[in-house]
Each structure stands twice: as C-alpha cells, then as structure tokens.
Chain A
C-alpha cells in the first residue's frame, strides 16, 4: 500500500462542512439577552412590591437603594474587568478599608483631605501592583494572591488605626459633600457612580486596550500567539481593580466621616456575586459592566423588598445566596444546551 497513491487519490474541494451550530449568537448579544432577563426579573419584582408595600415606589426608597449600592458599584466595575481577564480579587473589601484608613490617618496628621485621599488611592493602586507582581512575575494565581492580600491589608488597617475607628468629623464640608451632598434631589454619590459606570462600560465595549482583556481571559495562550502581552494586561487590570476599590474607599470616608478598620469585611463576596449574576464568568472571557451593575441592583432590590416586607434580616444572606446559585445554574443550563 503506497502512501503516495493515497495522497493523490483523495478528494476535491467543497464538501459540505458540518453545520455551524446554532450560529448567530455572539458574546455581546448573549450578554444583552442576559441583561434583558435581569431587567425583566427586576421589573416584575418592582411591580409586585408596588402592590405589596406603599413605601416601595417612592423616590426616597429608590434613592436609598441606589445609595446603598452606588459606592460598591464602583468596586464591581473593577471586579468585572478582572473577572473577564480570568482573575479574581478577594482583597477588595480590605482595600476599600485600607484606602479609608490611610486617607483618614493622613488627614488626622494634618494633611488636607484631597491630598490625603489621592495618597490613599495611590496606596491602594500599589497593593494592586504588588498583587499583579505576584501573579504575573512569580506566577501565583489570583485567588491565593488576593486571599493573602485580603488578610495582610486588613491587618495593616488594624495596625494603622490600632484597632479603633478614626473619627473624622473635622473633615471640611467641601470634602464631606462628595459623600453627603446632592444636586437637588440626586446625591453626588449616585452621579459619580453613574459616570464611572458609563465610562468603563463604554471603554470595555469599545476601547482596543480593553479588547485585549477579553482576548487574554478567553484564551491566554492564543492571545500570546497573537502577540498580545498578556502578563501586562493582567497586571494592569489587577491594578485597576484595586485602584477603583481605593477610590470607593475615599467616597465612603467622605460619606461616613469616619474610618473603621473593620469596614468592608465580606464586601468582596457581594461584589463577586453581583458580577457573576450579571454574566461575568469565573473562567474569564465574558462579562459586561452593565450586567454586573444590574446584578448589584437586583440584589439591592431584593434586600430592600425584604426589609419593607418585614422579613427578618437573618434571612437576607440566605436569599441572596440562593439568587446567586439560581443565576449561575440558569446560565450553565443555557450554555450546555447551546453546545
């Protein structure tokens, strides 16, 4: 049997290729399907709540809900981008607190609050850079690195404050206004939140630099084989996530007029849950900011509803956990049916 003969014999072109699956669904459209679903669930919940409680459909209640997730929402933005690149950051709660504590302590030492805040945000970025170093240069994974950072940074907060909350009631009114003031009826916090979300949502969809984030998260090896410097991408996204957490920390400080060394413990779980409900994959490669914010909003509407319905607060975490599980299960179901 000669191989050459075989070589000559086979085939001519244009044999029908196997059918290209269901086709037509790209990640963007799949994303908006998910977003529409979240909006529908939320609307249904709102309609039901409007009948169930007279206090639900009031600007006061909506403002309270928005306020409750606006600042966390800024952290969600960074987390979502980090999840897309295939990372995760468990240290965001600690970093939010760290930024508050550093800025607060510097202010108490006599620095003006704006400079103190910038240093606080810068210090948070450095934590991100340190994590990025361990992930990209040493080669550890994001989970373990950020778990260690979560504990270390929390420890730092306790060291800096000696374990007691810093009272910052002497903050000048101009600075307090960020967290406490409002444009007529709309608090500045909400405005800041909307602006940050809008900017990053747009950039993530449209900017070339962020496209590299999707490539890296989708298939790091293939991205390298396309000349993308994936380590750099991962490093900078890690820094971005911590920086946004630091930014949120400063706003919290302005809002509360205090810096508590235990603030933000457990926040990371809420934030990761929101991003995942909104469609970010823990395997990287997919997710949208808008979706993540909807995830956050859904959790917030549920919490608010439970309060208005007089459900004991002890039920809240359990119900939130179930929502997370349901969202991920539905997603998994849709994906496995697709392939």
Chain B
C-alpha cells in the first residue's frame, strides 16, 4: 500500500425508511488502482456508488477526497470533484448525437442562448478519443450496444476525471466486446484514473482488478489484494458461508443417448442464407454460443414459430410437427424463454399466478369461457413451491420480486404446459449467484427427467459449466459443435468469432438423423 489514498469512505451509514442499506462501511480507493466491489444483490454496492456520485446523501460518516473532507451534494458537485459514475443500464438519448449525450450536463448549465456546435463537437471528441475513435456527430441510435456503453463512460468522464465508477459495465456485452472494454479500462488506469469496478463475474474481477472489497448485507466484510485471494475466497465472503459446486453434475458418458428429442432440419431463418440443422438428444443440455447478433435468438425463435421461417422442418421425438405460430409450438410441447425478462418476459404489474397462466389459458378455461381461478391458483402454488420462488403468495405482484425469483416465475410459466423441449435465452442474466445455482440445478433436473433443454448464453463460464454439448453460431450459421470434453472458452471463441470453421458434413448428417 504505497500509493496514496485518493478516496476514503469512513463509517458511512444510510437507511431508506426502515431498511438499512449501509451500516458503518469503510472503503479506500488508492490512486491509480482498479478496485473491485463485490457483493450479492442488496449488499449495498449501488447505494455506496450513489453516495459517492452525489445522488443520495449518507446519514452518517465522512468522505475524504485526496485527504480533504468533502460533501458531495449533487451529481454535478461530484463531476466538479472529478468523480464519474457509469450506471449499469444504458440511458442515452437515442436520437441525439454522441456529443450531445456526452456533454448533456454542460449543455444544461450553459448560459448562452444558442448552441455552439463546433465547440461542442470538439470538446466531446477530446473526451471520446480517450476511449475509442467514435465520431461524435453520430446519433447514438446508430451505435452498437458496446459503443453505446463507451459513450456512457465518456459521459461520466470529464477531462479532469480522477475517480471513475463502473457498475456492471459488461452486463450487456459479449465476450469480445467485454475484452475491448477491459483494454480501455486498463488504459484509463494508465492515465492515472482510479477505478471502482462493480461486477458479478469473478473472471473479470480477477483479470482486471488490483484489489477487491466485499460487502454483505450493507456491511463491509474485507478488502484484499487480488494476488492474495482466490475466486473461492471472494465468493465465500460474499455469501458468508462455505461453497461447494456452482454447476450441477453433467450427463455421464454412459447415459448419453443418440435418440433425438428435437430435430431441426435445414431450417432457413434468414432470407438467402443456408439452412441450419441440429438435434437435441435425450437427457442432454444443449448450449448455443455465439456473439450477440450472430442469430442465436433468431434461430430458436424461428424454430418456435415466433418468427416466420423461410423453409425447414422440425421434429419432436421423431414425429414431424407443423409450427406456424408460437401457439402451435406450445401445443406441440416446445416453449421458449425470452432473453429480456422485463421487456418481453414477464407481466410485471400482474400477479405471479396470472404470469404463470399466460402460456396456456385454454387449460384453465371452463366450458363457459370463464377462467377457473381455483385451477389457476393450484397450478401456480404447485409450480412456485416446486421451484423455490420466495414470495408472499401467488397473488404477489411480480415487480416486487428479486431478479432471480422473477426468472423462476418465468420458467415456471414454461413448465406449466408440461413441455417436451424448453429453450432458454440467457436464463440467468441479471440474476444473483444464489438463484443462478438454483436455476442451473432446475435445468439439469429437467434434462434428467427427459425434457429437452437448450440454453443460449453469452456468458462463457455458464455455457461451459452447464452444457453437455455446445453449438456455436457465427453469422447465422452453425459453425461448429463442441462436446463436453473439449469445452473451453478458447474453443468457443475461435468458432464464434469466425476464426475457425469446423463444419463437417458427416456430423451434420448425423445430427439430423
């Protein structure tokens, strides 16, 4: 600890009503380090970030910046002090230019009645160039998600920025995009900016950060140098008890079967591209990997009738099924969990029971066309109990549940129809570690009970830890298949990025059969 502390948090407490979000926490950020802040959802990380960024005020405690005690009364005060916060979710004005977004606060504070665009672009470009050569005259809507993330960072940076806080910056990024971001973060560090980095992903923390501080239940637990701890240690501190195994046992080789549960034959889902063929075998969890935009979601949504297909066939347990729309798929026993829980997965303002019923109302309808509420309640109670959703009751509004419990409700809805095949798109995105483990176990149980399980994930450790076999998609085509024994991050990335193609016709033929 030779470097001088740039930011010192001493004995900070903060309550929201009856809930104590932070209890006497300490935190020290050294000059020029990348400092990871870890903890489960609700541990108090975001509250601390918001206090440092001047968004909320602490009830007690002091903040010292470069040794001097400061009060950070507002976000603009934080910015004047050289403190920037990049929020977890991208919140940019999509129709405005990059420059207008980056300098929004400055524009807001301008006294002059007219805009000076030449100066605006020049200033914004200076900040943007610290990160990546994105032209600042471009409207944000034309940028990829990862570039939008960079614009968010540019917005938090000022030319005098000393402390930058990043709240799960890789949540929406693919592996390659994340790596590019890491290079940029390291570069910022080299420029002397101290960084607080919040993430749930241990791999990122261990490859990027210098020190790690763990919070649990609003309290400070420990700060360690990365070199002196293992991911195991960090996780143990986060949850406060011993840990065993994150991923459930894979399918043992002797139980592998060649019987396909679902066979997709020569499916063309993009006009003018080649058809894809693959099979899901009994008892296995089939992973689908690839970059965002490679067509993973498109492909499975087409299989389920959520998008129109150009051509191709789908067989369930060896029998051809005709799927023209999603209702046909559900009836045949093929269900899909969408990747964006809030936007397209759940009815947040409705109850747990009504969320679970949505997929098959017919089953719950009496001959008179009325909803059988007793049957609805029974179904919801059973599913919710079986999958360990923690809640006040089945009439609880879904929006009040934690991310993990919301996701379990979404999965319970899929299972309400007794499906033959479930396809899950990013099943654990935005879910805390505990719920993640439970969801993984649930999927393995399903596979063992003979339900076909397909999982799409952008998180490579999940894809590797969970799947028995992984198909990799690149630019709309299946470019390779990796078995459990050969599953490594490198193997997936080489295929996903299009560096290598391992397309063997023999194998494809085998899959269809």
User: Which chain B residue shows the least CB distance to A218?
Assistant: B347
- B15 close to chain A: CB less than 8 A: no
Across the interface, do B349 and A5 meet the contact criterion of CB distance under 8 Å?
no
- B441 close to chain A: CB less than 8 A: yes
Query: Complex Cα distance A275/B440, Å?
Result: 45
* Residues in chain B near residue A4, CB distance under 8 A: 461, 464, 488-489
- A15 close to chain B: CB less than 8 A: yes
Across the interface, do B371 and A26 meet the contact criterion of CB distance under 8 Å?
no
Contact flags A207-221 to B (C-beta < 8 A → 1, else 0) = 111011011001101
Query: Complex Cα distance A11/B242, Å?
Result: 8
A39-47, A127-135, A223-231, A299-307: which lies at the B interface? A223-231
Across the interface, do B433 and A23 meet the contact criterion of CB distance under 8 Å?
no
Contact flags A6-18 to B (C-beta < 8 A → 1, else 0) = 1111111111111
Contact flags B243-278 to A (C-beta < 8 A → 1, else 0) = 111110000000000000000000000000000000
Q: How far is the CB of B205 from chain A (nearest CB, A)?
A: 9
User: Which chain A residue shows the least CB distance to B461?
Assistant: A7
- A120 close to chain B: CB less than 8 A: no
User: Which chain A residue shows the least CB distance to B373?
Assistant: A206
- B336 close to chain A: CB less than 8 A: yes
Across the interface, do B364 and A24 meet the contact criterion of CB distance under 8 Å?
no
Across the interface, do B354 and A221 meet the contact criterion of CB distance under 8 Å?
no
Partner of A9, one of B231, B371, B391: B231
Across the interface, do B432 and A208 meet the contact criterion of CB distance under 8 Å?
no
* Residues in chain A near residue B349, CB distance under 8 A: 27, 218, 285-286
Across the interface, do A8 and B351 meet the contact criterion of CB distance under 8 Å?
no
Across the interface, do A12 and B350 meet the contact criterion of CB distance under 8 Å?
no
* Residues in chain A near residue B42, CB distance under 8 A: 18-19
- A20 close to chain B: CB less than 8 A: yes
* Residues in chain B near residue A25, CB distance under 8 A: 395-397
Q: How far is the CB of B420 from chain A (nearest CB, A)?
A: 16
- A162 close to chain B: CB less than 8 A: no
Partner of A17, one of B202, B351, B354, B434: B434
Across the interface, do B461 and A24 meet the contact criterion of CB distance under 8 Å?
no
Query: Complex Cα distance A4/B488, Å?
Result: 8
Partner of B359, one of A6, A27, A29, A226: A226
Across the interface, do B396 and A24 meet the contact criterion of CB distance under 8 Å?
yes
Across the interface, do B350 and A214 meet the contact criterion of CB distance under 8 Å?
yes
Query: Complex Cα distance A94/B246, Å?
Result: 63
Across the interface, do A221 and B400 meet the contact criterion of CB distance under 8 Å?
no
Contact flags A74-109 to B (C-beta < 8 A → 1, else 0) = 000000000000000000000000000000000000
B4-12, B148-156, B159-167, B325-333: which lies at the A interface? B325-333
Across the interface, do A208 and B395 meet the contact criterion of CB distance under 8 Å?
no
Across the interface, do A27 and B351 meet the contact criterion of CB distance under 8 Å?
yes
- B203 close to chain A: CB less than 8 A: yes
* Residues in chain A near residue B465, CB distance under 8 A: 7-8
User: Which chain A residue shows the least CB distance to B466?
Assistant: A7
- A21 close to chain B: CB less than 8 A: yes
Partner of A10, one of B206, B396, B433, B460: B433
B351-372 residues at the A interface, CB under 8 angstroms:
351, 354, 357-359, 361-362, 364-365, 369-371
Partner of B405, one of A8, A17, A28: A17
Across the interface, do B348 and A219 meet the contact criterion of CB distance under 8 Å?
yes
Across the interface, do A20 and B325 meet the contact criterion of CB distance under 8 Å?
no
User: Which chain A residue shows the least CB distance to B351?
Assistant: A26
* Residues in chain B near residue A228, CB distance under 8 A: 358
B410-438 residues at the A interface, CB under 8 angstroms:
413, 432-438
Instruction: Using known A-B contacts A27-B349, A226-B358, A285-B349, determine if residue A13 contacts B438 with beta carbons closer than 8 Å.
Output: yes
- A185 close to chain B: CB less than 8 A: no
Q: How far is the CB of B206 from chain A (nearest CB, A)?
A: 4
* Residues in chain A near residue B358, CB distance under 8 A: 215, 222-223, 226, 228
A32-91 residues at the B interface, CB under 8 angstroms:
none
- B343 close to chain A: CB less than 8 A: yes
**Number of contact residues on A: which range applies?**
35 or more
| Interface of A, helix, strand, loop or mixed by DSSP | loop
Query: Complex Cα distance A23/B373, Å?
Result: 20
Across the interface, do A20 and B326 meet the contact criterion of CB distance under 8 Å?
no
* Residues in chain B near residue A225, CB distance under 8 A: 306, 326, 336, 338, 344-345
Instruction: Using known A-B contacts A225-B345, A285-B347, determine if residue A6 contacts B338 with beta carbons closer than 8 Å.
Output: no
Q: How far is the CB of B250 from chain A (nearest CB, A)?
A: 12
- A312 close to chain B: CB less than 8 A: no
Query: Complex Cα distance A22/B391, Å?
Result: 10
Across the interface, do A27 and B235 meet the contact criterion of CB distance under 8 Å?
no
- A1 close to chain B: CB less than 8 A: yes
Q: How far is the CB of B487 from chain A (nearest CB, A)?
A: 9
- B207 close to chain A: CB less than 8 A: yes
Across the interface, do A7 and B396 meet the contact criterion of CB distance under 8 Å?
no
- A3 close to chain B: CB less than 8 A: yes
Across the interface, do A209 and B369 meet the contact criterion of CB distance under 8 Å?
yes
- A170 close to chain B: CB less than 8 A: no
- A336 close to chain B: CB less than 8 A: no
User: Which chain B residue shows the least CB distance to A223?
Assistant: B358
* Residues in chain A near residue B239, CB distance under 8 A: 11, 15
Q: How far is the CB of B111 from chain A (nearest CB, A)?
A: 33
Across the interface, do B396 and A227 meet the contact criterion of CB distance under 8 Å?
no
Instruction: Using known A-B contacts A13-B438, A208-B365, A215-B358, determine if residue A8 contacts B370 with beta carbons closer than 8 Å.
Output: no
Query: Complex Cα distance A226/B329, Å?
Result: 11
- B311 close to chain A: CB less than 8 A: no
Across the interface, do A21 and B400 meet the contact criterion of CB distance under 8 Å?
yes
Query: Complex Cα distance A211/B399, Å?
Result: 19
User: Which chain A residue shows the least CB distance to B239?
Assistant: A15
Across the interface, do B361 and A211 meet the contact criterion of CB distance under 8 Å?
yes
Interface residues, chain B, with chain A CB atoms under 8 Å away: 40-42, 202-203, 206-207, 230-232, 235, 239, 242-247, 306, 325-327, 329-330, 336, 338, 343-351, 354, 357-359, 361-362, 364-365, 369-371, 373, 388, 390-393, 395-397, 399-402, 404-405, 413, 432-438, 441, 460-462, 464-465, 488-489
Interface residues, chain A, with chain B CB atoms under 8 Å away: 1, 3-29, 206-209, 211-212, 214-215, 218-219, 221-229, 285-286, 339
Beyond A12-B244, A24-B395, A227-B325, 14 additional contacts (C-beta under 8 Å) are A3-B464, A6-B206, A9-B235, A12-B242, A15-B433, A16-B434, A17-B405, A17-B435, A22-B392, A219-B346, A222-B343, A222-B346, A225-B344, A226-B326
